[in-house]
Amino acid sequence: MRRSSFTRSARTTTAALTGALLLTGALFTGTAAAVGEGPDYRGNETINTSILSTYDDVARFLKDQDAKQDAMELEVIGQTVKGRDIHLVKYLSNPDNPTILYLAQQHGNEQLTTEAMLHTIKSLGSPSKASLLKNVNILFIPMFNADGAMGDVNFPLDGYLAKGERHLTRYNANEVDLNRDHVAKEQPETQALHENVLRAYDVDYAIDLHHQGTQSRVNGDLVSGSILYPTTPDVSPELVEKSKRLGSVVYHNVDRTGWGHIGRYDGGSANTIGRNGMAAEYGIATLLFEMRGMSDHEYAPYVLGQKSNGYLIRQSVLTMEATIKAVADGSIDQADTSFWDTLPQQCNTC
Ligand SMILES: [Zn+2]
């Protein structure tokens, strides 16, 4: 089933593309109740992957945008284990500009960040964004682990909960967690990222976009997501502070919406993790942002029904748009990092 979904008919692909575009176009814009006690799977909601963009949808969308947008360049930085192209979207107006990298779907079952990235890329094609793009260089990797996202892997996905044409899994086709491969760099996906992006461009900031489980709380309410700066001992206090400023832009823009509820992520200190490894090896200021709820998993408390898609995509878009603006206009340099001192660490019983 997983393989056939990759080679399905053009007609089916076109139908799925239409759905994907609708998804990226239909953003949550309201100020509904805080997500704190938002929808929950609990076995009675639809978890369906057919509304998510497939790899083919993403590739087609990017090629279409590349044809439409003068400022955008589309590069293939390598191939996945199964031979899918890994796409890098580039807006490089001036080598003297600060450069920010957005990375989505290191884990293939964390897909709404990808949908948000497609929306953000499309919006950068608006004439109103031209002046913004003169002052910042932007790199996007929308679907890093395309094999995992398509469930085209060399191990069984029995018991995964989502319905639809495919399952999505955290691991790459070799059952390796790519976000633990940033030191050894043994997988083709990780090698492509390091050789053709991190060593090829002078990246100042990076946001690594993920999804986490659904049950984490802060102050009694379920969080909409959680954030963290590099916690490896191998980075300077100055780089940690710069990373905290990146987190400040995200936190304050999401928090003021009324529906965002952000906690501190409880993350490890190993350099094998992208957030730490990119900071330690290249001096990049990094932020991890974990959105609530995964697209598919075998463990029910990790997956989230579609009712939450709108605000979770919106949260990711807001994260990218706010940080692009703050880096472009330099306001990130004045971002207040004091909130980190009191930001509660999320937990399932908090
Ligand atoms: Zn993840």
Q: Which residue stretches of the chain are H helix?
A: 2-6, 10-25, 55-68, 112-123, 130-133, 146-150, 188-193, 237-255, 274-282, 309-329
Asked whether residue 346 is assigned to any structural domain, the reply reads no
Task: Give distance in angstroms: CA of 211 to centre of ligand 1.
Answer: 5
Task: Give distance in angstroms: CA of 202 to centre of ligand 1.
Answer: 25
User: In total, how many domains does the chain have?
Assistant: 1
234 or 1: whose pLDDT is higher? Answer: 234
Return the ∠ at Cα 173 (arms to 167 and 179), rounded to 5°: 95
Task: Give distance in angstroms: CA of 67 to centre of ligand 1.
Answer: 31
Asked whether residue 109 is assigned to any structural domain, the reply reads yes
Sheet holding 285-292, edge to edge: 73-79, 85-91, 137-141, 99-104, 205-212, 285-292, 225-228, 262-264
69 pLDDT band (50/70/90 cuts)?
Answer: very high
Per residue in 128-150, is it b (16+ CB within 10 Å) or e — as a string? ebeebbebbbbbbbbbbbbbbbb
User: Cα-flanking dihedrals φ and ψ of residue 87, to 5°?
Assistant: -95, 140
The β-bridge relationship of strands 137-141 and 73-79 is unpaired
Asked whether residue 248 is assigned to any structural domain, the reply reads yes
Task: Give distance in angstroms: CA of 105 to centre of ligand 1.
Answer: 7
Q: What is the pLDDT of residue 195?
A: 98
Asked whether residue 347 is assigned to any structural domain, the reply reads no
Asked whether residue 40 is assigned to any structural domain, the reply reads yes
Task: Give distance in angstroms: CA of 29 to centre of ligand 1.
Answer: 25
The domain that holds 24 is classified in CATH as 3.40.630.10
Task: Give distance in angstroms: CA of 110 to centre of ligand 1.
Answer: 6
Task: Give distance in angstroms: CA of 134 to centre of ligand 1.
Answer: 32
- Around Cβ 333, how many Cβ atoms within 10 Å? 11
Task: Give distance in angstroms: CA of 107 to centre of ligand 1.
Answer: 5
Asked whether residue 66 is assigned to any structural domain, the reply reads yes
**Model confidence over 307-318: pLDDT tens digits?**
788 889 999 999
Structural domain containing residue 24? 2-341
The two tokens of residue 115 are 């949908």
**Model confidence over 84-121: pLDDT tens digits?**
999 999 999 999 999 999 999 999 999 999 999 999 99
Task: Give distance in angstroms: CA of 68 to centre of ligand 1.
Answer: 31
Task: Give distance in angstroms: CA of 96 to centre of ligand 1.
Answer: 32
Among the ranges given (42-46, 80-84, 183-187), the one the predictor scored with the smallest mean pLDDT: 42-46
Asked whether residue 348 is assigned to any structural domain, the reply reads no
Asked whether residue 220 is assigned to any structural domain, the reply reads yes
Task: Give distance in angstroms: CA of 170 to centre of ligand 1.
Answer: 7
